[in-house]
A and B are shown apart, each in its own frame.
Chain A
Amino acid sequence: MRKIIIAAFLVLVFFTNGFTEEMQEALTVEDIVRKANHASLYQGADGKGKVTMVITDKQGRTRERAFNMLRKDVGEKDGDQQYFVYFQSPADVRKMVFMVHKHAALEKDDDRWLYMPSLDLVKRIAASDKRTSFVGSDFLYEDISGRNITEDTHELIRTTDEYYVIKNIPKVPDSVEFEYYVAYIDKKTFIPMKIEYFKKDKRCCRIIESKKVENIEAEENGKKVIYPTVIRSSAKDMENGTKSEMTFSNVRYNIGLDDKIFTERYLRRPPRNAMR
């Protein structure tokens, strides 16, 4: 009996192994992209973290920023999301807030707000596109909130031991400044480890890299889970010769952020406990 159990176990192990391998083989490019989208943006129902950012220009001169970031998903599926960015430093922009209500539907523009403490003024931002600089760094708004996966066509151009290499071509070419981008997606975590943007003459103009990934423990439905999370990433602009590096600390998931935090009212006075 025992032998049978062991044998059955072995068979099972073998079978499942084979099965998972097969499953992975069977992943379509759309699956990979969807998983990558989830891994990089949608882990947990919400999350927060402290971010320090160092922007280095071509002459090596640096500028620093620090802000807290909150995120909350709307609904179960990887769809709408809300972001809240609260500035800590430089001191002269402390308490400045950006808030984004991201809409997954292509036809609906994101809602964006800006709160300026010195003028005590809330402004809605209507932007023609999401490819503007995020706080003067080499990251763009779209890098932070994620590019909608339906905006590109995807092509798996290579599979290496570590990565799925996917070429993404925008469906509306004149909506962006690049021609296409190539993402290197980790086979295990599905985190995009490197994204290279190319211009017309196949000239690489921008590189975003995940420099450090850490497993962050969290609770999901009362169970412990592990979310592999990028805690250091960099964006390099080859045309300007500038580079920005973001480092996350105090990352926490599923903390039960209140919906009302992400409303205009809270821009002026964000909840303290969410900010420490």
Chain B
Amino acid sequence: MKTFKNKLADISVSHYKLVTFVMVLFTLITGAFFPLVTMDTDPENMLEKDEPARVFHNKTKKAFDLSEIVVLGIINEHDPDGVFNPKTLRHIYELTEFAKTLRWRDEKNPGQTAGVIEVDMIAPSLVDHMTQGGPGVIRFEWLMPRPPETRKEALAIRDKALSNPLLRGQMVSEDGKALCVYLPLTDKMLSYQVYTSLRKKIGELGGDEEYHITGLPVAEGAIGVEMFTQMGTASPLAMALIFGLLMLFFRKGVIIILPMIIATVSIISSMGLMIALGFPVHILSSMLPIFLMSIAMVDSVHVLSEFFDVYTKEKGRKETIKEVMNTLFAPMLYTSLTTAAGFLSLTLAPIPPARIFGAFLSIGVMIAWLVTILFVPAYIMMIPEQKLENFGLSAHEEKKQNWLTRVLGAMGRLSYNYAKPLLGVFLILAAVAVWGITQIQINDNYAKRFIKSHPIRKADIALNKHFGGTYTAYLILEGKLPGKAKKQDIQKIGKDLTHYAREVMNEYENAPGLAEALVQKLPDFARENDTLEDFLNSVIEHIEKISADTSDETYYAWQELQNFFGIEKEKLRTFKQPEILAYMAGFQAYMENAGLIGKSTSVADVVRKVNQELTDGRPENFRIPEKLQGVAECYMQFQQSHRPNDLWHLVTPDYMRTSIQMQFTTGDSMNTKAAVRAADAYFRDHEPPAELSYRWAGLHYINLVLEDKLVWGFLNSFLGSFLIVFVMMSVLFRSALWGMLCMVPLTITLVAIYGITGIIGKDYDLPIAVLSALSIGMAVDFAIHFLERSRVAYQEQGSWKAVVPKMFGEPARAISRNVLVIAIGFLPLLVAPLIPYKTTGIMLFVILSASGLITLLVLPAILTVAKKWFFRKVEKPDIKTVASPNFESKSVGCN
């Protein structure tokens, strides 16, 4: 290693121009990929492409032809009639007409246009109204063919809309104060264009209505915008802040520029590499710059500090830097490796964006290390010798008494004199924290990623106040077609046929005779066909053939019998069966009554509503017809509208799969979880009238699947990270005991932080989950430094009591600075308008500063109490040589 590291320093020093050139070239090449950057804001991508829940979700979207939808919410709190006044309805009408025109040339399919799908839009002027038009008359019309002129007309529209259970709580709020226009898109990438066009049009309308534009594609677009904002503001701010801090510590511009260069190089090259390899920037990886900002700097600051201490004019910059690099090579390598290893553990997480983030963070850390090793000596060589003259001064200033020194001194005395009580306090705190951890509430909420003042969050709050909920999940029910016809099936069909033939005998007198002959043949047909459906089909075909040339009377009788088999065939269609629809209606009522969902919509509602209007419109006829034929007539009638295809969003054309749309009033995944459990219980306790399987889909459900990954997936990477770092520490110290000691401060910190999370009731969500694994590699560095310096000092002093005051001098100062730079470096994330950024910023600040503080309190206390255990080994000469001389740095600075 020694020869290798010497060689590196030699190369750097003697070919400093070449090294600089190569570094600049590498940065430029990787940076050249920046224009190719793509953003990934799709929450679906949190899961693997082949994740079963995701595959099923996409299958569902296709089967029920579900598009991404922009929601335009209009609220009028001023008018006593809410939105149902002529003026507001005119605005809504105009916006609807305008939204229809939001189409642009399709970039992907030349000659086609893309944008809002007019036929699937939901708006008052685009939906049907079905009602009684007098006795025996059913009336079909547009709900609002044109905007009303008078208050009376406007209120009539409200009453019509509210009479439709398919629109109530979906297009129109029950209180009539709010209305939602739904704009499905051909491509969700167009959501931003739709958003801006709508905003402009709304601006032209005036009026005192409140408008909200939301929906998942809009939210995704907004997250993309905020990601750019974050990278564009928080990272430069972090750079400025760290620059300020370093100025405060070192007061030398020429020194501080170096870390800035290293940070820039590692950020640009790791981001550039990520882009070049085709990975889109995700909400996690958008934090690469701010993470690398402080982490990349610390090594170089360390080198510079050491350099100033060692530098003398006689020795010259060349020899000095070689000596410094020799001294610091190993500690820099180890701290970089632990940090990188900690980040790399994220690749164990089952969430692809987290893996990419972890991988490129560790690449960035290692790039920073390499650049530090190679470029710092080169940089020193480029500083003119005369500029280095007064460098010792900055180091000397350290010795002045200041508040930091005093505080650290007091801490040292505290940890030595009150070691046992101190440890006791920490033990109690840890116990409380462990209890807190058991109180942790796992919950993620996509909408809550935006701060309360963000338009999306505002829309979310406002619309959910009025509606049955804007978060949608789908419960997909699937029926099963029977296999080969069983003997008892055939017997039953034969019996039923005979019975049926007798029933129609009055009209078709030879029906029983024909039926009897046919019953004899049924077993043959059953044998030849593999499924019940095929069996029925071949009987129907058979009747078609033999009846073709018969007399009229026989022909009509055959027709009746053929229809019997036709009905048997339709009975196989699960979601035409009245019992099944009634079962679904019961399930929906159960879910709504349990308060788990705001509203649900299914074919059971469609059929009930159509049945009500087809009979006489009375509320008691809002029910499922008794016979399959009645259900079929309702389905047929529903399709005879302006929007026949609406039905296929709820049931597949083969009537074997159906989708119950569930609207949740809250985006919390824990609420979804409760709904999923309730559904499980319902299906367990209430046996469906036919074989039925059920499964959830919809992004709102995907979010819940993600929640599960958050817990177990990140626990894996956390444990992985913990283990790797522990092993590395044990190797470094050649002692598992010291390795364990090294892990103590961050363990206490994490237990405390997550305990507090549980106690104050902050949801354990994605950013918090990621942070647990992420912070280990960073937080352990403080302990490495403290312990290594303590071991070295012990060898010099020979007694722990003598070591303590020394440790709380310059080494503690160095660690404190290190803590401050890294921790404060994350605070600029607070300016980003997305909550996950703020959480990350705050949490990392707290985790890093707490683990720094705990390092300085708990480690000396433990060493004081158990010094016999720990230092017996250190005194052995063979260990001594291993642990150093690499760490024999008297240096200050960070890391």
Contacts and interface: CB of A to CB of B under 8 A. Distances in A.
Given A174-B146, A276-B552, A133 B640 contact: yes
B570 A132 contact: no
Nearest to A92: B632
A136 B640 contact: yes
Interface in B553-577: 555-556, 563, 565-567, 569-570, 576
The SS class assigned to the A binding surface is loop
Lowest 6 A-B CB distances belong to which pairs?
Answer: A91-B566, A136-B639, A118-B629, A128-B141, A92-B632, A133-B644
Nearest to B564: A91
Given A94-B566, A133-B640, A123 B137 contact: yes
A119 to B, nearest CB: 6
Interface stretch (B47-55, B647-655, B679-687, B726-734): B647-655
A239 B119 contact: yes
A116 B138 CA distance: 13
Given A201-B103, A239-B118, A135 B639 contact: yes
A132 B130 CA distance: 12
A89 interface: yes
B136 A119 contact: no
Interface stretch (A54-62, A163-171, A187-195): A54-62
B110 to A, nearest CB: 15
Given A114-B637, A126-B133, A126-B140, 20 more contacts: A61-B652, A61-B654, A90-B566, A91-B563, A91-B566, A92-B629, A93-B636, A116-B630, A118-B629, A119-B614, A123-B137, A132-B641, A136-B636, A136-B647, A239-B117, A239-B119, A272-B556, A273-B552, A276-B555, A276-B556
B145 interface: yes
29 contacts: A57-B648, A59-B63, A59-B65, A61-B652, A61-B653, A90-B632, A91-B569, A92-B567, A92-B576, A93-B629, A93-B636, A117-B629, A118-B629, A118-B630, A122-B136, A123-B136, A124-B136, A125-B138, A125-B139, A126-B133, A127-B139, A127-B140, A128-B145, A133-B643, A134-B640, A136-B639, A136-B644, A203-B103, A272-B556
Given A57-B648, A96-B636, A136-B636, A125 B567 contact: no
A132 B648 contact: no
Given A57-B653, A133-B640, A114 B645 contact: no
B113 interface: yes
Contacts of B139: 125-128
Interface in B844-861: none
B101 interface: yes
Nearest to B645: A240
B130 to A, nearest CB: 10
Contacts of A273: 552
A61 B138 CA distance: 31
Contacts of A123: 136-138, 614
B113 A201 contact: yes
A239 to B, nearest CB: 4
B176 interface: no
A242 interface: yes
A96 B631 CA distance: 13
Contact of B142 (A61, A122, A128): A128
A63 interface: yes
B582 interface: no
B691 to A, nearest CB: 20
Nearest to B103: A201
B542 interface: no
Contacts of B145: 128, 174
Contacts of A127: 139-141
A10 B153 CA distance: 72
A140 B684 CA distance: 45
Contacts of A63: 653
Interface string B362-400: 000000000000000000000000000000000000000
B62 interface: yes
B642 interface: yes
A93 B633 contact: yes
A268 interface: no
A58 B128 CA distance: 23
A265 interface: no
Contacts of B629: 92-93, 117-118
Interface in B606-641: 614-615, 625, 627-633, 636-637, 639-641
A131 interface: yes
Nearest to A239: B119
Nearest to B570: A92
Interface string A253-276: 000000000000000000011001
Interface string B532-567: 000000000000000000001001100000010111
A201 B640 CA distance: 27
Contacts of B643: 133
Size category, A interface: 35 or more
Contacts, number: 135
Interface string A93-130: 11010000000000000000010111101111111110
A200 interface: yes
Given A57-B653, A61-B652, A118 B137 contact: no
A118 B627 contact: yes
Interface string B442-476: 00000000000000000000000000000000000
Given A118-B630, A239-B119, A200 B640 contact: no
A188 to B, nearest CB: 33
B642 A131 contact: yes
Interface in B77-124: 100-101, 103, 113, 117-119
B497 to A, nearest CB: 14
Contacts of A58: 65
A202 B175 CA distance: 40
B137 A126 contact: yes
Nearest to B641: A132
Contacts of B566: 89-92, 94
Given A57-B648, A92-B632, A118-B625, A126 B138 contact: yes
Contacts of B141: 127-129
Contact of B62 (A59, A125, A136, A240): A59
A122 B101 CA distance: 41
Contacts of B136: 122-124
B576 A132 contact: no
A131 B570 CA distance: 29
Contacts of B637: 114
A221 B576 CA distance: 49
B58 to A, nearest CB: 13
Interface string B320-350: 0000000000000000000000000000000
A114 B134 CA distance: 15
A136 B145 CA distance: 21
Contact of B113 (A62, A114, A117, A203): A203
Given A91-B566, A119-B614, A124-B138, A96 B633 contact: yes
Contacts of A90: 566, 570, 632
Contacts of B567: 91-92
B628 A114 contact: no
A132 B642 contact: yes
A240 B642 contact: no
A132 B140 contact: yes
Nearest to A134: B640
Contact of A272 (B63, B552, B642, B648): B552
Contacts of B133: 124, 126
Interface in A62-93: 62-63, 89-93
Contacts of A200: 100-101
Contacts of A121: 614-615
| Chain B CB within 10 A, most for which of A118, A135, A200 | A118
Nearest to A203: B113
A224 B312 CA distance: 122
Interface string B148-190: 0000000000000000000000000000000000000000000
Contact of B140 (A62, A116, A119, A125): A125
B658 to A, nearest CB: 15
